[in-house]
Structure 1
């Protein structure tokens, strides 16, 4: 009995069921709110759909500052900044590109050409892509009937976004196409997170990925003429909230992925498309079409089916 109690006391807070649920839920809610906040930020800073450099600059400022905050906190907490394996820089750089630079370059482009509620649901493609890619690249991940059914249901939800009239939204390369590429980058980054903790402290690795990845957005953004045409108190507030979302979301989620089976954490991602769609409609006054509800429920159901029997 005493030994059992001792074992439980030695379990990390990031492995205790109550806190796993709490932290994963917080990350999902935070990321869901990012959709309307980015579009509100565009309006306040005067960034229009044709201002490519300004989009990169806006995204880069957000992530580089978020990464800097995480690194400062990690330094103050005495985290180990040394690599656990030699030659890990290449992996960190690839992770920066997948997790931040390419991921959010596509995301910010796509979101400026798509309704926030539609983009939120479409981005759930990332979860289903992770399942398929994991089965292809990791021997420990086998395709099961649950995974197969879940992916079919989820993809059906994503395809249902293109039902209905033209006014309710149809596929566009600049909008939906960019969000799909963003989702695929997110899926690759999720798989790479498995190796991140093997090479460097996960908090430090998260900070580096955001800081370096953010700078790789800022620099080309400035070089192609990116500016923030106007700066308002509201715009600064939206940017601050987006920085907080990145800092909180990535730190919690990456740490949870290194301590728990992916299924225990990923199940909460089913809330992101629903939260993103609802908050976009409420904050941006976007029309809510019936197919958004159908697509959101199918995407959430697909993710639940995939994860319901995982440890």
Structure 2
């Protein structure tokens, strides 16, 4: 089926008490593995490309590849530009077929975050594209986005209603204690803060930094109303480990590159299937 927007894919999440996984990819093999995992679970899925990924693969190449993947399956697939701070890149992504973009102005002042996010929303509306924005700062490192733990700031619930209303965003990433990358110690999520945010907005909420969060914390976030959960670093590690294992298992006389990178598809699919079970989105394809 054709690519769907983030707004469409998240529409029934809060009422249905499930979340849709947003999975980062860096090439064909992991992207196809993500799709395969979602198909196996009959789940909607969000494929996310970072700014680094689109610079590596090519913006139009990403759009064409994922569009082709989506059209060959019967589950809803959304193509999302993740954590984008380059507004020209965001606009190009929208124009070339991305169905969702994240404008990350969280490092700016509250007023500037509103103004910049609204500007992208107004542009995206012309193309029927959804927009996610972030309020507060999620710590850790994700490619070009680096937020020291001391600079990480939890989302202030009081800032949410005006931000959502004035920007017109389709999804809101909130900072409640997760970080990008692997955790040095077990994360402590601020569930009372999440509860307050859920109570004051109907806007679908997004959890960044999903690699390494305990299963029970994931489930609690979903039951409380989290609609989208991002997983990136875990899939990067899965990709690399699958290639290393394939190289170790094959003789030096083997020159078919598919023997080395092909296993990535199955390895990533298994990770995605496991996350779908946790997020509760199995059999939620529409």
Q: Is TM more than 0.5 here?
A: no
TM-score by length of 2: 0.27
Report the TM-score, using the length of structure 1 for normalisation: 0.25
Larger RCO, structure (CA 8 Å, separation 6 or more):
1
- The structure with more helix, counted as a fraction of residues: 1
More strand per residue: 1 or 2?
A: 2
